[in-house]
Amino acid sequence: MSAVYERVALIGLGLIAGSMSLAIRRAGLAGEVVGTARSPETRAVAAEIGLCDRIVDTATEAVAGADLVVLAVPVGAMGAVAAEIGPYLAPGATVTDVGSVKKSVIEAVGPHIPEGVHFVPGHPLAGTEHSGPRSGFAELFDNRWCLLVPVPGTEPEAVARLRALWEGIGAHVEEMDAEHHDLVLAVTSHAPHLIAYTMVGVADDLRRVTDSEVIKYSAAGFRDFTRIAASDPTMWRDVFLTNKEATLEILGRFTEELFALQRAIRTGDGEQLFDYFTRTRAIRRGIIEAGQDTDAPDFGRGHGKT
């Protein structure tokens, strides 16, 4: 496959950026991939394992001459990074991001994008509970979705080029507006994460269940709550602070459903419980049929990870 961009700059070198670098290089989609991270330790590890073609010390160095810049930092830090690199962006370059929230990222980053530079926010729907420069693998995006959220007035060519990159590294691509994106993600990702954190917190609070029992018997559903709850705390703090409205709306609906199920259990309404679980089971089947998971999901434990 021929290169889509001459030079890709990755700001932040965690799971997503690391996997992007490996996938871009696997498919020959860029002439060069340059990476940087705020932490010297992260940069040292990335250089040691050859995560990018070149690792540099600062974001301004990384974006010099880059025709694609990827912001792969927590959403709460994106505005500051955009302000830092804005004056150094090459004319005609595209800036994108991989954040889980889009409305607040557009508000934070947009003002720092100079005239003549394209801003095409993005969000790859892929990940594991692992983080850091060693966590990436080239197959992360294969058969996963990447949502692009172009700001009004963006040149179609810039969007098409970024789409070609994501498709080249194995993803399906769809476009949607920022508000809809944030509501969809509140349903599919943000609220489930908060519920997982809560369940793990509840287990910690229930002193009648000892720590050893929680660990020993967690081959049941609790194990997969702990997988989700192991995700990067900085990233998730920022997600909830920046996608407040949509998350609270979905949590309100969740609370209503939970009360209805509590009532069914209390009143012994087996029919309602059976119907509810039948309906929700069909959603699981739909996810499998869409190729987004298997009957025996590995919950991110594949690719040599435990």
**Interatomic CA distance for residues 172 and 281, integer angstroms:** 25
What are the angstrom distances between the C-alpha of 163 and each of 158, 249, 258, 285? 9, 31, 39, 28
Tell me 31's DSSP state. E
First to last CA, the chain: 33
Is residue 78 pLDDT above 60, yes or no? yes
pTM: 0.86
Question: What does the block give as tokens for 60?
Answer: 């301004």
Question: What does the block give as tokens for 45?
Answer: 């590890």
Model confidence over 128-183: pLDDT tens digits? 878 899 999 999 999 999 999 999 999 999 999 999 999 999 999 999 999 999 99
Query: For the chain, which residues make up each domain, given as ranges?
Result: 5-176, 180-267
* CATH architecture under which domain 180-267 falls: Orthogonal Bundle (1.10)
| Residue 235 and residue 74 in contact, taking contact as beta carbons nearer than 8 Å | yes
Q: Which residues lie closer than 8 Å to 252 by C-beta, 6 or more apart?
A: none
Number of C-beta neighbours around residue 287 at 10 A: 13
pLDDT of residue 129: 78
Count CA atoms closer than 13 A to 236's CA, side-chain side.
17
Tell me 154's DSSP state. -
Which residue, 179, 154, 175, 177, is CA-closest to 163? 175
- Strand pairing partners for 174? 147
**Interatomic CA distance for residues 57 and 67, integer angstroms:** 19
Q: Which residues lie closer than 8 Å to 303 by C-beta, 6 or more apart?
A: 137, 139
Is residue 295 pLDDT above 90, yes or no? no
Output the 3-class SS for 87-146: HHCCCCCEEEECCCCCHHHHHHHHHHCCCCCEECCEEEECCCCCCCHHHCCHHHHCCCEE
Is residue 211 pLDDT above 70, yes or no? no
Model confidence over 264-275: pLDDT tens digits? 999 999 999 999
pLDDT-derived band at 209, boundaries 50, 70, 90: low
**Interatomic CA distance for residues 285 and 7, integer angstroms:** 41
Whose structure tokens read 């709850």? 229
Model confidence over 239-262: pLDDT tens digits? 999 999 999 999 999 999 999 999
Q: Which residues lie closer than 8 Å to 108 by C-beta, 6 or more apart?
A: 75, 78, 79, 82
pLDDT of residue 212: 67
Question: What is the third-level CATH fold of 5-176?
Answer: Rossmann fold (3.40.50)
Indicate the helix (H) or strand (E) that contains 174.
strand 172-175
The mean pLDDT of 41-47, rounded to a whole number, is 97
**Interatomic CA distance for residues 164 and 156, integer angstroms:** 12
